[in-house]
Amino acid sequence: MIRLDKFLCEMEIGTRSQVKEMIKKGQVSVNNEVIKKADYKFDENSAKVCVKEKEISYQKFYYYMLNKPAGVVSATTDNHDKTVLDLLKDAPGKDLFPVGRLDKDTEGLLLITNDGVLSHNLLSPKKHVDKTYLVKTAETVTLDMIHALEQGVDIGEEKITLPAKVKLLEEKEIELTIMEGKFHQVKRMLKAVGNEVVYLKRLSMGSLILDEALNLGEYRILTEKEVDDLKKDKQE
């Protein structure tokens, strides 16, 4: 159940005072009945709400994929740097946030949503959701390095990293799939094997794959299937 004024604000119909005014003027109906009380409560999942006779379709959660460019930070606000949310300024949805972090210099797939449960499931260390990165390195990637990454390396945490998957693409380029998300993990893993990351891009997270049609800094709404598949990823 939700208050009518709160519902209209969440649907971005107007500010709290604007929507209260609309309600007072009799411009809002719930299930075909004009409601003039801002604190009127109803079930937002089943009710038909109209404003000036136009039906408002109810959407609580929003899901976007962003192709994050380098130079922006994975935060909701920042005093110095541009944030990923600055790139989604015009996107509908309240309380959006990035699911996890990419470093300022990392590019690629970032899921942005206001669905806390999905975010929690994807980030939970217990769930081991795969994340795949395109990694360009300063030095040649040797077989020894690949084997070490596949087995787990010491990045100064309590335990060595979980086994990763490595696909060698070029002499100095790999696709690396990890199941954890420790701070600077990929950079620390490459350092642990005596190499260095010079370029990093996330290609996928769980079932969600970066849409290569998105230029850096562009975003799009996830399809229903993408959202459903993500929700199925590693459910408890």
Rounded to a whole number of angstroms, the minimum distance from the CB of residue 82 to ligand URA is 16
- The catalytic position among 103, 105, 229, 233 is 103
Q: Using CB under 6 A, which of the segments 47-55, 83-91, 98-106, 109-117 binds ligand URA?
A: 98-106
CA within 13 Å, CB half, 137: 27
Is 102 among the residues that bind ligand URA (CB under 6 A)? yes
Is 195 among the residues that bind ligand URA (CB under 6 A)? no
Our CB check for ligand URA shows the closer of 19 and 205 to be 205
Rounded to a whole number of angstroms, the minimum distance from the CB of residue 102 to ligand URA is 4
**Residue 34: Cβ within 10 Å count:** 12
- CA distances, 84 to each of 17, 168, 205, 227 (Å): 30, 30, 17, 20
Whether the CB-CB separation of 114 and 61 falls below 8 Å is answered with: yes
Rounded to a whole number of angstroms, the minimum distance from the CB of residue 184 to ligand URA is 4
Name residue 157's amino acid.
Answer: E
Is 103 among the residues that bind ligand URA (CB under 6 A)? yes
86 is known as an active-site residue:
no
Whether the CB-CB separation of 59 and 113 falls below 8 Å is answered with: no
Cα(220)–Cα(92) distance, rounded to whole angstroms?
A: 11
Whether the CB-CB separation of 109 and 84 falls below 8 Å is answered with: no
Binding-site string for ligand URA from residue 129 to residue 158, where x marks contact by CB under 6 A and - marks none: ------------------------------
**One residue of 96, 99, 200, 210 binding ligand URA per CB under 6 A:** 200
Is 187 among the residues that bind ligand URA (CB under 6 A)? yes
Cα(78)–Cα(7) distance, rounded to whole angstroms?
A: 29
Q: Which residues bind ligand URA (CB under 6 A)?
A: 102-103, 106, 184-187, 200
Residues designated catalytic: 103
